[in-house]
Amino acid sequence: QVQLQQTGPGLVRPSQTLSLTCAISGDSVSTNSATWNWIRQAPSRGPEWLGRTFYRSKWLYGYAESVKGRISISPDTSKNQFSLQLNSVTPEDTAVYYCVRELHGGKWEDSWGQGTLVTVSS
Amino acid sequence: QTVVTQEPSLTVSPGGTVTLTCASSTGAVTSGYSPNWFQQKPGQAPRALIYSSSNKHSWTPARFSGSLLGGKAALTLSGVQPEDEADYYCLLYYTGAWVFGGGTKLTVL
C-alpha cells in the first residue's frame, strides 16, 4: 500500500516560490508503472491538475497550460520523493495542494498525500 | 485552452437514478481520454470511483457505473442513497496533460 507524505510551508509571500515535497513509501518514484502528480484545489473550487513526472527509460514531465512557465516538478531518487516548485505566486495560488500517484493506463486511485493548505499572503 | 464541462448541479430523489456527464471542448470523449470519475465530500480529498471510462475500484459501490454516452463520459448512479450527496468531478487525458471538469454538485432530496 503506497503512502505519500507531504511537507512544506503553509504560508508563502506574493512573488515568492511555493515549494512542496512528497515522500513516497510502498513504491518507487522511478517505477515504470506510475506517474507522480501534483493537484491543487482552491477554496470552493474544483481540483486542478498541475503537472507530473515519471520515468520511462528517462525522466519525463508534463505541466498544465495554466501554470506552464512557473512550475517545475522534480524527482529525487536518493530520497524516493518528488517536489513541486511554483514561482511568482499570487493570492490566486492559494489552495490545498495534493501529491497523487496515477497508475499506468490512466488509473487514478486512492494514493493521495494528506494535502497542504498553502496560503499566499503578505 | 481545453475545457471539460459538467452539469453544475443536479437533484435526485432517494432511490432514483441520475446520470452525470462530462464533455470535452475538443469533441467527442472516447476511451482514449481515459475518463476517471471522483467523488468529493466536504472537507475531504477527492475519492476515485471510476477509471478508464467504466472500471470500478474495489471500494466503488455497485450502484455507480461509468460509460461513454453520446460523445461524453457519463457516471450513472442507480438507487441513489442520501450519502451520495457530494461533488463529482471527471478527469480527462489530453496527450500529456490531465484536465478536470468543473464538477457537478449532486443533491439528494
Distance CA B79, CA B15 (A): 4
Q: Where are the beta strands (DSSP E) in chain B?
A: 4-6, 9-12, 17-24, 36-40, 47-51, 55-56, 64-69, 72-78, 86-94, 97-100, 104-108
CB contact under 8 A, A109 and B51: yes
pLDDT in tens, B23-81: 999 999 999 999 999 999 999 999 999 999 999 999 999 999 999 999 999 999 999 99
**Residue of chain A nearest B35, judged by CA positions:** A106
List residues of chain B with CB under 8 Å from any CB of chain A: 1-2, 34, 36, 38, 40, 45-48, 51-52, 55, 57, 59, 87, 89, 91, 93, 96-103
- A63-122 tens-digit pLDDT: 999 999 999 999 999 999 999 999 999 999 999 999 999 998 899 988 999 999 999 999
In a mutational test of the A interface, the residue from B3, B50, B98 whose CB has the highest number of chain A CBs within 10 Å is: B98
Shortest distance between the Cα of A115 and any Cα of chain B, in A, equals 8
- Residue at grid coordinates 518514484: A29
Residues of A with CB below 8 A from B87's CB?
46
- Do the bridges between strand A95-103 and strand A116-120 make them parallel or antiparallel, or are there none, so unpaired? antiparallel
